[in-house]
Each structure stands twice: as C-alpha cells, then as structure tokens.
Structure 1
Amino acid sequence: MASQFGLLLRQWRQRAGLSQEALAQRAAVGIRTVRGLETGERTDPRMGTVRALADALELTGAERVELFSAAGRDEPLVVEPVRFDPLHEAVETLKVAVEARWRREEEQRQVHDPVPLPVRWDEAPATWMDSRLNIGADAVLGGRLDQVVEVYRRVGSRRLVVLGRAGAGKTVLTTRFVLDLLGARNPADPVPVIFHLGAWHPGRLGLRDWLAGQLTRDHPFLAAPGPGGGTLAAALVDSQRVLPVLDGFDEIAAGLHRPALNALNTTTLPLLLTSRVDEYRDAVEGTDVLTSAATVVLADLTCDDLADYLPRTTRKTGPGGNAWKPVLDEVRNGGPLAEVLTTPLMVALARRIYSDTPDHDPIALLDFHEPEQIERHLLGSFIPAVYGAHAERVQPWLSHLAVHLTRLGTHDVAWWRFGTSSAVTGLTVGVAVGVADLVLEAVLVGGLVARGVAFAVMIGLVTGVLFGVAHRYVVSRTPIEPVRTRLRLRGRAGRRVWSRGLLGLAFGGAVGAAYGLVRAMAYWLVTPGFEMTAGVLVDVGVFGLVFGFGAGMVFAVVAAMEAPLDVRSAGSPDGLLAANRRAVLGLVGVMVPVFAVFVAGATGVVASGLTALRFVVVWSPTTALALGLVGGIGGGLAYVLSLTAWGQWVVFARIWLPLTGKLPWGMPAFLDDAYRRGVLRRAGAVYQFRHARLQEHFARLP
C-alpha cells in the first residue's frame, strides 16, 4: 500500500503534468526510485532525494514542509539568493487584467443587483466522474455559489467539472470562481483565466497551444518572447502558472466532443470545466470520464428562491402589494411557469422585461400555457424591452450577427471576422486604388488627362484582381488575424527579416510588372501612334525589379522594427481594434516614404544604365518620386484592405455590410451599445451574445 509520502508525491507529480519518467529525469534520480516511493515499496527516502523531488515539483514552502514531514524528516533551513523569475511580472500583470475584466463583467450583468440569484449544485452520478481515489476528495461536493473555491480546493487533483442545463448559471459560477480565487490567491498560485471552448478544434490544435493562442489574443503583451524561446503565453501555460477555466464544453462543434474529451485526458492540467449535461454525458459514454476530475450538477431554482429575489427587483405593486405575487402563486401551483423559471437565465430575462420596464406587468406571463411558449415569449420580448422604440430597427442587425456566427460555428463576435469574400475585397481594393491614383495624378500633374484616367481605371482593375487572388490564397491557408506587434526603432532583427523581405520581393515584383504593362497599355489607348515595342518589355522588367526590391526592403524594414504590443494595449475588442489601427497606419507611414525614396533612387540608377546602353530614356527626379508615391500609396492601400485584419474590418464592417443594409454604419457604437444594454457580453478581445440561447433565438428569426 502506498504511504502518505507516496500519495503526496503522486498527487503533486500529476498536478505538474509529469510522468514518473519525466519527474525522475528532472530530479536526477532513478525511475525505480520514483516508482518505488509512489507504490510504497520504498519507505525511507534519503534527504537529498526528497529535496531533489521537491525542487523538481516546484513545491511551495508549506508543501515542502508537508512532504519532508511525510518522509519523517525536517528539511534543513537553507538561505538561497533570490532568483529573478522572468515570468513573475507577466503573471502579476495578467492577474490584474483578469480581475479587472471579470469584475466589470459581473457589474455589467447586474449579478449583485439587488442580490445574486442562488446558484447551488449537487454531486453528479458516480458514472459521470472518476473514482474518489483518483480525485482525492473525501467529502461530499455539494455547495453554493459563495463556496465554489472551497469546494474546488477539496478536490486533490484540482480538476472539477460543472454541469448544468442551458441558462443554469454556469457562466455566473465561472466568473465568481475566478474573482474569489484571485481574492484568496497566494503569490505561488496560478492565475485563473476563462477560456471559451467553442473556438477550440481539438483535431487542429493541441490544448496547450490553443490556450497560449487565446491568451495572446486577449492579452497581446503575452506575445512577447518567453524564457524558453516561445511566447510568454506559452511559457505561462507550460509552467502551469495559468489555471484554465474552460467554459462551454457543449459549444465545441458537433462531432468533436469525444475527441475533445480525449485531448483533455492527455493532460493532467488542473482545470475547471463547464458543460451542458447532455453533451458531456454523451462524450463520457462514448469515451471515458475526465481523468481525476470531480463532477457536480447545478440545481434548479426553487419557488422560495424566486420569492426571495423577484419582488426585490422592482417597486411595482400588484395584488397584495407585490407585482410578482400572481406569478409566484402560479409557480407554487406547479404550472408551466414552475418549469420555466428554474434557471437564472429565464429569471433574468423575466426580471429585465417586467421589473426594469415601466409599462410591462408580469401578470402577462399567465397568458401562456406551455413552457415552450413562455420561453419563446421571454426570448422574443427581451430586445423590445431593452431597445424600446428602436427594437424593430436593431433586431435585423442582431439576427444577421447570429446567423453569421452560426455559419462560422462560433459564439465569438470578432471584429476581424465579419467576412472573407475575395470578390468583395478585390472590388474594394480596385475602387480604392483607382480613386487614389486618379487623385494623385490630378495633384501631381496639375489636372486630369485622358491617359491618367485610363491608367487609373486599368490599374484599379489589375490591382483589384491581383489582391483579390492574394486574399483568397492567404485566407485558404490561415485566417487573417489581428497583428500583435507595434513598430519601434529598436526592434529585433532575425530570420523573419529575410523571409518577409523575400515575400515582398516576389509580390512587389508581380505588382511592378503589372504596373509597367498597364502603364504601356494606357499610353497605347490614348496616344495616337504609340506602338507596343520591345521597349515595353524593358519597362515591365524595370518596374518589376524596382517594385520588387522596393517592397522587399519595406517588408524587411518593417519586420526589423516589429516589437510585441505593450502591456497598455487592452485586450478588449475596442482596445485591440485601436491597437491594430495604429499598427497598420504606422506600417503605411513607414512603407510609403521608404518605397517612394527607393523607387526614385533605383529608377535613376536604372535610367543611367539604360542611357549608357544607348536606350532612349525619359526620366526626372520629380517624375520618379511621383511614381514612387503613387506606387507606395496604391500598394499600401491594397495591402491594408486585403491582407490585414483592420483592413478587412474596414471593407466589411464599415463599407460592405452597412452598404447592403445587413449591419449599421456605426458598427463600433452599435456593438458597444449592445454591450451596455446587456445584449452582448465581452469575452476578452471579442463580444458574445449574452447567452447561447439568445444567439440561437436570433439565428432562427427570418
């Protein structure tokens, strides 16, 4: 039988995510020693062995004392110099950001107005969870909202699954768990971070890599290099300084729940997981339980809960001085309302519609005789109650958002994912470049001429096609994501400088060759007697080389100046959007002058060479600089609109979708207003509908 020392050693090894072999290697002891200590075959470990194991497991002071005590020894006091931990600052900054974010969200959702709804849970059936020996929990795991951290800490494995039906209060529980755990956190404890699992595809990305990616999305400063060569986010995940709170196992795409559960079982990460009951039960029956995880099920609200809550949300009076009395009486009689008003979601909707709206009386709920009718009524009345006279105008926009998210298979309203149409992108790029070229030609030449108009039309067409194709190619390989960098003078050069430079050389060469050809064709169309001779091929080659090397140099300079976004770059949707706008505009601010000066100088050198070879060349510094400006501004516009997240936001959210009436012109104000009204919630750098049931409701509307 395993000794107390062996049980502690195994528990802390699993918490660290280490196999017996990995622990032995890290502690520089034999694998047979670790195995023997865990099974109880060896009961008298040496002092050096215990110290090596404690160091390898990175135990806290109290945990070291407990381990040495279980070994029947006292660890000698050793004063060691304080070591600088490169991840400490990142952990503390992350803690502050997470705590501030979820405290604001809790206030926004009126969780404490006037008091929180009671959220309670009971232990799940034994078939839905691992054995108590693996879990390390002796007591029954029932509890209520203010005990969630206490119940979690009763679980020795630090792995807990919270199940509940739609609207049962899982999101409220995860928020309170994070805030309570941060309030009672020791410096050595991991930072709890909520991750919405609906965006995870277990077949494409491992859990740890996905967690690191989500961290950098919501906290861009964690994209900075970490001590191990990866990012700070990856280092925090690998060193278990982040406690994953995985919300919405049920929201993973259909058919992926079993692979997701298998992937979770390949790790021993401490975690808290939430899910609807049916999806988790089916995954467990098809695979296995979540290893070493305790499981609880959220309980329904009772009539006493409603009687203690609903009358406190309003000053309206009714029969007996309480506007909610007829409804509460119906609930006590066991009618359809008793079946509906059992989840915090439905109660919150009823409160918003009838307590917070002056001209609505909750007695109207008695007109419905089926639970489904009541739920549809509450979901359908929510927007009119929130928006009042503007509901009819706003509802189609919310419906489009819901349908769009359903098509994408996500719950995240990400500002950089409002569309990926290469046709729309190419059309927008072509119009923008053509108009920009027309304006520049008029300013630089002193007026519009036939050749300039023809060139603007043709270069717009060609650029639109080229960048539309480039957009389609890029999106087919990987989605366009927001940049996580800013430009500064002391960036880090490296391999990315060469790779970006080669990319710019290839793409700039193609654009330059097309530019030279279109320029010759514009002359041919409007200039009598102009002939398409071999000199046109020389122009095409020259422009291809000059534009290619110019674009390559610009891309290399930008890559050398890139640095991670600083801590002050907020992970909110508005903050990330503003950071990307600054980054993209800064990119263009560098690109245009560098490209223009290079083109002016390079064409001068080429012109001198061609003149020496007895070619007839017409060149002047002013014309060359104008050419560089036209190419730089046109190329910059095309690149931004087709190949950056902020550019795609401009194309779809600010131009195309408002133009077609599917979304409003003032998209940022609309999203922020929906958030303040409680229709949307913020989940890091994205918005989400307040609840998945609301998204499902709007997606079904015509």
Structure 2
Amino acid sequence: MDLAGDVRSVAEVYRRIRSGRLVILGRAGSGKSILTIRFVLDYLEDADLADKVPVIFSLGSWDPTAIALRDWLVDRLVRDHPHLARRAPDGGSLAAALVDAGLVLPVLDGFDEVAEGLRQASLEALNATSLPLVLTSRRAEFAEAVRAAGTPLVWAAGIELTDLALDDLVAYLPRTARPIVRGEGVGGDEGVRGGAVWEPVLDGLRDREGRAADVPLARVLNTPLMIVLARTLYSEGADRDPVELLDTERFPDEKSLEEHLLAGFVPTVYRGHAAELTAADQRRGERNRDRPRPRDGNRDPERAERWLGYLAHHLARLDRDQQDLAWWRIGGSVRLSTRVAAVGLASALSVAVSEWLIALLVIPVAFGETLLLGSLMGVCAGLSFGCVYGIMAAVGAGAFEPSYVRLRLHRRGQGVGRRPVRVFTTRFGTVLLGGFVMGVGCASSLALQRRLSYGIPLNERVIEGTLINMLAFGLIFGAGAGLVFGLLAVLEAPLDVASAATPAGLLAWNRTTVGRQVLVLVPALTLAIALDGYLVTGLLQEFLGPMNWELADGLLIGAVGGVGGALSYAFSFTAWGQWVILSRVWLPLTGKLPWDTVAFLDDAYHRGVLRQTGAVYQFRHIRLQHHLGRSYRERQARYAPAGFTGRN
C-alpha cells in the first residue's frame, strides 16, 4: 500500500488502511502533534454518521499497569467533557457507552512520552486489542519498545515524517517577516520588505548546500518546531538579525543553536506582545482609560519566564515527561508540610469565624469570651483537619480530582443495592474519625474557655465532666458528620452540565459544584448534630449519669459545626479548595506564581507558549517545557543558600 503524501492527505491515507490502525513516527519537533490535529479536522470534514469520532488523547499520562486502556479513555473523556459523565441506560456513563460501542477513534499522541519503564507494557496492552487507533511517537523510543516487546503494533500501517528541505525554508521564512520601517530592524531602510532579513541566511545555506556538516543551522532548521522558534525570534522581533545564526564560533553545534532558540522564545513573545499592546493603548488614548487592562506582571518577560519555569519544574517533579498541566494538581508542587499547615490554617479560620459570627448574632455574651472560644475551637479544628489531610496525603489519597455531582433520589421500586451500601459504609467510617476528633476538640475548647474566663479550678469533678463531654461531643460530631457525608455519597450522581472542555470551564464548574455542596452541607450538618445530640446523650446517660442537651443549644452548636465544617471540607478536601488556598494564595505569596493564575495561564495560551488539551494545559512542545524547567532549577541553585537541595 502506498502511504506517501503530505499533511493534507493524512486522513485520506488513513481511510485506505483496512485495520484502522496507523503509527506515525517522527523526530522531536517534526510536527507529529500538529499532524494529529490536521488529521482530526480533515477526518471530521469528510465523516458521515457511520464514522467514528476521532479524539486526541495525550498518551503520556497512561500507566498500563494501573488502568486498562478502555478505562483510561473513559476517564479522559469524562475529564475533558463533563457532560459525558451522565448515566447511560445501562447504568454506566455516556463516555463508557461511546467507547464500548466503538464510536470513538482514539488518536494517541506521544507514545514516547509514556514513562520509559512502561513503554513495553503500553505496546503489549495496545496489541491485546484490535481497536482502530492512530499512534504517534518518536522513532527511537518506539523502536526500543518494539525490540523489548518482540513485536510492533500489530495490524498497523506506518508512516514517518521526513525532514524539511531548504526549498521549504525559502518558501516559508521570507513570508513570515513583517515589513521593516525606518528606525527598526537591520539597516533601518524604509520600504525594505521584511523578507529581506532572511535573504543572507538563505543565501548562506544555499552556498553550503551539500555540506550540512559544516553548518549546524542546516541541521537545526529541518523541523517545524525549530523553524517556528526561529521565526518568532527573528521574523516577529525587530531588534534581532538572523545572520547571527550562521556564526559557527558562537554556535558550534546543533545543541547550542537549539538552546539559543529555546531560550529566546518566551522573552520574545512576551516582550513583543507587550510592545504591541503598549502601542495599541497609546493609539486608543483617552478612550482606553476606563477599560480594564492586563496586569503589567503578565507582560514582564522575566517574571513570566520564572513562573512558567516553576510550572515546568512542577511537571518534572511529577514525571520527567509529564505534560498535562492540570490546575487541580498545581498545589501538589508545594511540600506536604506546607500543604498540611495551609489546610490547618484555612480550617481554623473557617471554624473560628463561624463561631464568632453565630455567637455575636445569637448569644448575648461578652466579646472577649466569644473571641477566645472561637479561637480555641479554630485551633482544634485546624489540628483536626490538618491531621486528617496529612494522613490521607501520606497514604496517597491527598490528590483531589475535580468533581461534578448532583443529588439523585432513587426511583420507586429501585433497590438500594450493594454498591450504595458499600459507598455509605466507606464514607461514614472515614468521616466518623475526623468528626470524633473535631468533637473532642470542641469539648476541650469549652473547658479551656471556662477555665480562662471564669477561673474554674481543675478539680477531679471538672476533669471528669470534661472527659465525658469529650466522649459525648466526639460521638455527636462523628456520627452526625458521618451520616450526612455517607448519605451524600449514596445520592451523588454526575451533574448534568454542558461540556466544559477548557481548564477555565472545568474550574468554574467545580467552583459551582463545591458551592452547592456547601449549601447542602450547612443545614444537613446543623440538623444532624442537633438531633444526634439527643440520641447520644440519651444513650450515654444510662451509663454516665444525667446529661443536658437542649434543642436551642444543640442548634447553635450544630450551626457552628455545620458552617465551619462545610467550609473546612470545601477548602481541605476538594480540588477547588486546594486550588484557592495553594495556587491562589500560597504560591503567589512566595512569588512562584502570579496572583491571577487563571489569567496568566490563559494569556500564555494566547501567546502560544501553552496549548489547551481538553481540560488541561500543555507546553507548546516538551522540548520547551524541559528547557524552562531546567533553567528554573539552575536559577534556584545559583541563588539558593548553601545546603539547598533544589526541592520545594
């Protein structure tokens, strides 16, 4: 079968492959990812109702030893298209139904980005299925996996992207340069077309054609990635002369040239855009005074490069070839002790402020007593939630994925089944422990507040009463919170939402979801704690003597637990809450990210530094990501005090 062609014919070539399995190989920067985009667009343009829908998946996040290909595809679809989490008639998700029905054509981009130790297992898993697919990879990494597995991708055709030739440069680069006006560019001759700045370079390459070994530039400018970088630095910048690229003393080999192009990309796109925006603002003059303008920090090349470098370094810490820059995982770049402290502080403030507001509005007590009690309860809540978070993180359950849920009541005649019972039991047991610790802290705070405010001596009777209160409050808070969260787990169902296939869209939906959860949790926890108090005190007084639990007091205690507990849960154990306290507060405070991180990421996307892949960002190319991460680590090592290890 003749598979030769160009980027415009890849969809046509694919339709001639009867197995529907195609491998696309190419060098780093050869345009494999762009080819997949072109393939999807062309395939959809000529598709009919019987065709599969091609969907691009970044393969670097797949671990075939932990999750099957089918389940991973379903997870990626639900993440990038939340409306596919809705239930299908068979009880599964719409995403699972589409994959199982063979209506999705996986376009698996970046086989070489799978962890090196997992490539053989990945190829074997792909060979275990006859699923039609398109797979891209660098040639060397794919060949190594084939040798290890003993077989290539079965039933698959293969094509390889060839290097660009000098004729391609001659046809492309002169058209990318803007016209030169007096006072800018090389020579400053008014009326000279911008393409002229490339003529000396192209002439030099022509003169040495056939002797590429003597000209590193000839070997570098043969992939789309490097040509785009060269275009950005020299065609779009007015203060650079591309003739310097021919200087073999300054750039003796390919690596030095590539590092030069990579290092200049981010400063150029930010400096160039800043100049264009400033000039546009000046032309608009007075009309632009009352309109919002982007923050200057987002335009500063040095700070932008530092922030992007930190994000690239964060991805390297997750995995060297990890590319998915997910907003809900950025907080994971902060060391565990700092995250625990942030969670504890957020929980302490949530409970303390709740106690202060409710006490001042409802209970006519002195301000000092209210302030003291709220502070003590806040400290206990912070310690409680911080410890639970730390334990969860230590056992690997501290990464919280975005959730989009609604409450669903079971229809009449529909049995509860085993799965809801198991879900309820698991959630109840987990929350019971945390609630018990919170209740013990509440009883301890009350005892300490009475001691400090009224000078009640710590005699045997007081200590005995405090211990009884600790047991009672622990059971009340633990059982009440466990019941509420257990029932919510049973009634949770995927939220019926429109597609949120962008990072900002998923963040907005998650913020809305957390807000709805808080609105449900506050009254539910309040009533559960108030009513649970009657049951617990009624049972305990049979063994421990008379106990007092008035409805009014129970509602007040429940309100504090409801408001404070719901807010603490939102900030401590949801993806949006972790985003707020870590990515929007802590990292900007330490200078690692800007204050408006969402705007910065979106701005970097529009400048071409990042790209969007569903609900996550990725750097324009993994070579750029590695360069920024390495540069960030070098700066940290250069300015760090003695003994610095480079860890955050």
Q: 1:267 — aligned with what?
A: 129
Deviation at 1:453, TM superposition (A): 4.5
Contact preservation (8 Å) 1:310, 1:324: yes
| 1:531-578 CA-partner distances (Å, limit 9, x unpaired) | 333222321222122212321332144335433133414021111111
User: Is 2:350 the counterpart of 1:436?
Assistant: yes
Deviation at 1:687, TM superposition (A): 0.4
Q: Distance between the aligned counterparts of 1:614 and 1:497, measured in 2?
A: 31
* Equivalent in 498, 509, 520 of residue 447 of structure 2: 520
Once the two structures are superposed, the pairs formed by residues 644-655 of structure 1 within 5 Å of their partners are 644-655=574-585
In structure 2, what residue type is equivalent to 1:628?
Answer: G
In structure 2, what residue type is equivalent to 1:654?
Answer: R
Q: 1:289 — aligned with what?
A: 152
**Which has the higher mean CA deviation after the structures are superposed, 670-679 or 349-358?**
349-358
| 1:250-305 CA-partner distances (Å, limit 9, x unpaired) | 11112221121111111111111001111111111222211111111101111111
User: Is 2:570 the counterpart of 1:640?
Assistant: yes
Contact preservation (8 Å) 1:316, 1:323: no
For residues 464 and 569 of structure 1, do their structure 2 counterparts lie closer, same or farther at Cα, with a shift above 3 Å needed? farther
Q: Distance between the aligned counterparts of 1:688 and 1:516, measured in 2?
A: 49
In structure 1, what residue type is equivalent to 2:573?
Answer: L
Deviation at 1:396, TM superposition (A): 1.1
**Which has the higher mean CA deviation after the structures are superposed, 611-620 or 303-312?**
611-620
Contact preservation (8 Å) 1:430, 1:460: no
Once the two structures are superposed, the pairs formed by residues 612-627 of structure 1 within 5 Å of their partners are 620-627=550-557
In structure 2, what residue type is equivalent to 1:434?
Answer: A
Q: 1:690 — aligned with what?
A: 620
**Which has the higher mean CA deviation after the structures are superposed, 289-298 or 600-609?**
600-609
Contact preservation (8 Å) 1:193, 1:242: yes
Q: 2:264 — aligned with what?
A: 381
Deviation at 1:437, TM superposition (A): 3.7
Gaps of 5+ in 1: 1-138
Q: 2:307 — aligned with what?
A: 397
For residues 310 and 364 of structure 1, do their structure 2 counterparts lie closer, same or farther at Cα, with a shift above 3 Å needed? same
Tell me the secondary structure at the aligned position of residue 493 of structure 2. Answer: strand
TM-score normalised to the size of structure 2?
A: 0.81
**RMSD between aligned alpha carbons?**
2.6
Deviation at 1:153, TM superposition (A): 1.6
| 1:614-660 CA-partner distances (Å, limit 9, x unpaired) | 96656554443221122122222322222211111112201221111
Contact preservation (8 Å) 2:440, 2:474: yes
Tell me the secondary structure at the aligned position of residue 117 of structure 2. Answer: coil
Q: Distance between the aligned counterparts of 2:366 and 2:609, measured in 1?
A: 51
Gaps of 5+ in 2: 181-185, 210-214, 272-298, 636-648
In structure 2, what residue type is equivalent to 1:470?
Answer: V
| 1:383-434 CA-partner distances (Å, limit 9, x unpaired) | 1111116111111111111111011011111111123444223322332333
Q: Distance between the aligned counterparts of 2:529 and 2:594, measured in 1?
A: 41
User: Is 2:330 the counterpart of 1:411?
Assistant: no
Tell me the secondary structure at the aligned position of residue 323 of structure 1. Answer: helix
Tell me the secondary structure at the aligned position of residue 197 of structure 2. Answer: coil
Q: 1:576 — aligned with what?
A: 506
Contact preservation (8 Å) 1:398, 1:698: yes
Deviation at 1:354, TM superposition (A): 1.8
Q: Distance between the aligned counterparts of 2:148 and 2:405, measured in 1?
A: 47
* Equivalent in 354, 362, 372 of residue 242 of structure 2: 362
Q: Distance between the aligned counterparts of 2:359 and 2:581, measured in 1?
A: 30
Contact preservation (8 Å) 2:197, 2:241: yes
Q: 2:77 — aligned with what?
A: 215
For residues 516 and 569 of structure 1, do their structure 2 counterparts lie closer, same or farther at Cα, with a shift above 3 Å needed? farther
* Equivalent in 157, 167, 176 of residue 304 of structure 1: 167
Once the two structures are superposed, the pairs formed by residues 519-538 of structure 1 within 5 Å of their partners are 519-531=446-458, 532-538=462-468
Tell me the secondary structure at the aligned position of residue 140 of structure 1. Answer: coil
Contact preservation (8 Å) 1:432, 1:460: no
In structure 1, what residue type is equivalent to 2:87?
Answer: P
For residues 663 and 375 of structure 1, do their structure 2 counterparts lie closer, same or farther at Cα, with a shift above 3 Å needed? same
Q: Distance between the aligned counterparts of 1:680 and 1:693, measured in 2?
A: 12
* Equivalent in 406, 409, 416 of residue 487 of structure 1: 406
**Which has the higher mean CA deviation after the structures are superposed, 372-381 or 400-409?**
372-381
For residues 300 and 694 of structure 1, do their structure 2 counterparts lie closer, same or farther at Cα, with a shift above 3 Å needed? same
Deviation at 1:377, TM superposition (A): 1.3
Tell me the secondary structure at the aligned position of residue 108 of structure 2. Answer: strand
| 1:423-478 CA-partner distances (Å, limit 9, x unpaired) | 22332233233333443443344376555445444433433333233223334344
Q: Distance between the aligned counterparts of 1:354 and 1:642, measured in 2?
A: 48
* Identical amino acids, percent of aligned pairs: 46
Q: 1:464 — aligned with what?
A: 382
For residues 402 and 613 of structure 1, do their structure 2 counterparts lie closer, same or farther at Cα, with a shift above 3 Å needed? closer
Contact preservation (8 Å) 1:419, 1:652: yes
TM-score normalised to the size of structure 1?
A: 0.75
**Which has the higher mean CA deviation after the structures are superposed, 593-602 or 244-253?**
593-602
Q: 2:281 — aligned with what?
A: none
Q: Which has the higher contact order (CA 8 A, sep 6+)?
A: 2
Q: Distance between the aligned counterparts of 1:614 and 1:480, measured in 2?
A: 42
Deviation at 1:182, TM superposition (A): 1.1
Tell me the secondary structure at the aligned position of residue 23 of structure 2. Answer: strand
| 1:77-120 CA-partner distances (Å, limit 9, x unpaired) | xxxxxxxxxxxxxxxxxxxxxxxxxxxxxxxxxxxxxxxxxxxx
Q: 2:611 — aligned with what?
A: 681
Deviation at 1:192, TM superposition (A): 0.6
Tell me the secondary structure at the aligned position of residue 357 of structure 1. Answer: coil
